[in-house]
Amino acid sequence: MNQPPSAHGADSEVGTLQTVMLHRPGNELKRLTPRNNDRLLFDGIPWVARAQDEHDAFAQALRDRGVEVLYLTELITETLESEAARNHAITTALAGLHLGDTMRGYLARFLRDASPAALTGYLTAGIRNDEVRGGFGLVTSLLASDDFLIDPLPNLLFTRDSSVWVRDRVAVTSLAMPARRRETQLTELIYTEHPRFRGTRKIHGWHHEHVEGGDVLLLAPGVIAVGVGERTTPAGVERLARQVFHAGLAHTVLAVPIAQERATMHLDTVCTMVDVDKIVMYPNVADSLQAHAVTTRDGSAGEGDLVLEVAPAEPFLVAAAKAMEIDTLHQIDTGLDPVTAEREQWDDGNNTLALAPRVAVAYERNLETNARLEEAGIEVVRIAGSELGSGRGGPRCMSCPVTRAPLPVG
């Protein structure tokens, strides 16, 4: 629990995974109804107990490979043991302008009296108007009984998006969709106050331009690809580039435009690294994916003064190989007909989590993509995801690597 902060970090997508942060789905998923699931970014109403079983099997598959699994809610509860952290968490959770002073005052007192574990429950599963026993007034009368006073956070399941480690720093991200904004208040709290992470140096933050972790791929030490689309904005990738250059964490950032639609909400929905020089990629975009290489001349200036050099767009695989200083970044040609490819991409076939070079976790349902991965020499660790997948995320987005071993040299 008290490892020094320098023990954490990752500089690639494929170095042996040592520690990962997951979120076991909980009561926040029980809040989903056919009336709110779109706003809460779920495509269906998951069977929660089965989702938990699937998630437990995912966590076990990681432990079986020697990975230490940290659970987000346990980290939050441990963080909330501190009075200062508790006050901070309560103030930020109640900052919404929909509450009014009467209800805000009541909830602040109610939450302050809650145990750390109970408070974690309220912060993650939310509080509905008809669940409160006080604070009655204009706001409670006019809101519907099933309106949320504190929103549930069903997308906590996707720990990839709310923070991302770049070398020994953690970027607390800035999430674009209103339903997810509060997630980063929790990750920031963990990385600031939890004894295990205290002293960790941070970049970015929820008050900065939008960047989501699902868009950030550590292609190789020093080379970061960032998808720009529905979630990460052009200004977001510029901000991230300035920070990583200023801190000496990378020499090249590849800005990769992706279609602004749900099926391709993050770069990791269309491609993920499975080896030091192999990437599995959705064939329907493989030929059209482009990248602008962003570099800087001189790292000594202040972050805002850095002059960024932005290269003209090139095919993504070409720009990536150049930046990575390898001959070829091999695309695993999933070779699928366009319809199967589209179906398996939708079901997160391209969203794999590498446990080490050439070992990747994938949903079992994507039969053809997995078969092609194996033909290419990748060991596929299959997990069930019929319920987990209803939130539109796969093994990569359900995991935030906290520590990966550096890649072997040569």
Ligand X SMILES: NC(=[NH2+])NCCC[C@H](N)C(=O)O
Instruction: List the catalytic residues.
Output: 397
User: Which of 16, 19, 124, 155 is the binder for ligand X (CB under 6 A)?
Assistant: 155
Helices and strands (DSSP H and E) totals, the chain: 13, 20
- Residues 349-388, interacting with ligand X (CB under 6 A): 351
The token duo for 209 is 């331009």
Q: What is the secondary structure of 115-136 as a DSSP string?
A: -HHHHHHHHHH-EEGGG-SS--
Q: Tell me the torsion sign for CA atoms 91, 198, 408, 244.
A: positive
> Is residue 161 at the binding interface for ligand X, with CB under 6 A as the rule?
yes
Q: Which is nearer to ligand X, 164 or 291 (CB)?
A: 164
Q: Which is nearer to ligand X, 156 or 255 (CB)?
A: 156
Q: Which is nearer to ligand X, 155 or 200 (CB)?
A: 155
User: Which of 58, 106, 122, 158 is the binder for ligand X (CB under 6 A)?
Assistant: 158
- Residues 332-351, interacting with ligand X (CB under 6 A): 351
* Spatial contact of 351 and 158, defined as CB atoms under 8 Å apart: no
Q: Which is nearer to ligand X, 254 or 306 (CB)?
A: 254
Smallest distance, Å, CB 72 to ligand X? 15
Smallest distance, Å, CB 158 to ligand X? 4
User: Which of 268, 275, 277, 344 is the binder for ligand X (CB under 6 A)?
Assistant: 268
Q: Which residues contact 224 (CB under 8 A, 6 or more apart)?
A: 166, 216, 217, 218, 240, 244, 250, 252, 253, 254
Instruction: Name the residue type at position 270.
Output: V
> Is residue 23 at the binding interface for ligand X, with CB under 6 A as the rule?
no
In whole angstroms, give the CA distance from residue 256 to residue 23: 28
For tokens 């939450």, what's the residue? Answer: 111
> Is residue 54 at the binding interface for ligand X, with CB under 6 A as the rule?
no
Strands (E), 37-80: 68-71
- Residues 194-223, interacting with ligand X (CB under 6 A): 214
> Is residue 153 at the binding interface for ligand X, with CB under 6 A as the rule?
no
> Is residue 31 at the binding interface for ligand X, with CB under 6 A as the rule?
no
Give Dmax (Cα) for the chain: 67
> Is residue 229 at the binding interface for ligand X, with CB under 6 A as the rule?
no
CA angle 239–241–246, rounded 5-degree value: 100
> Is residue 41 at the binding interface for ligand X, with CB under 6 A as the rule?
yes
For tokens 């995991």, what's the residue? Answer: 399
User: Which of 236, 393, 395, 401 is the binder for ligand X (CB under 6 A)?
Assistant: 393
Q: Which is nearer to ligand X, 158 or 245 (CB)?
A: 158
User: Which of 31, 104, 160, 167 is the binder for ligand X (CB under 6 A)?
Assistant: 160
150 beta partners: 127
**The 379-383 sheet, strands edge to edge:** 353-356, 359-363, 379-383
Binding mask 167-196 for ligand X (x = CB under 6 A): ----------x--x----------------
Q: Backbone dihedral region of 250: left (phi > 0), alpha (psi from -120 to 50 degrees) or beta? A: beta
User: Which of 46, 391, 395, 401 is the binder for ligand X (CB under 6 A)?
Assistant: 391
Q: Which is nearer to ligand X, 119 or 157 (CB)?
A: 157
Interface residues toward ligand X, by CB under 6 A? 41, 155, 158, 160-161, 177, 180, 214, 265-266, 268-269, 351, 391-393, 397
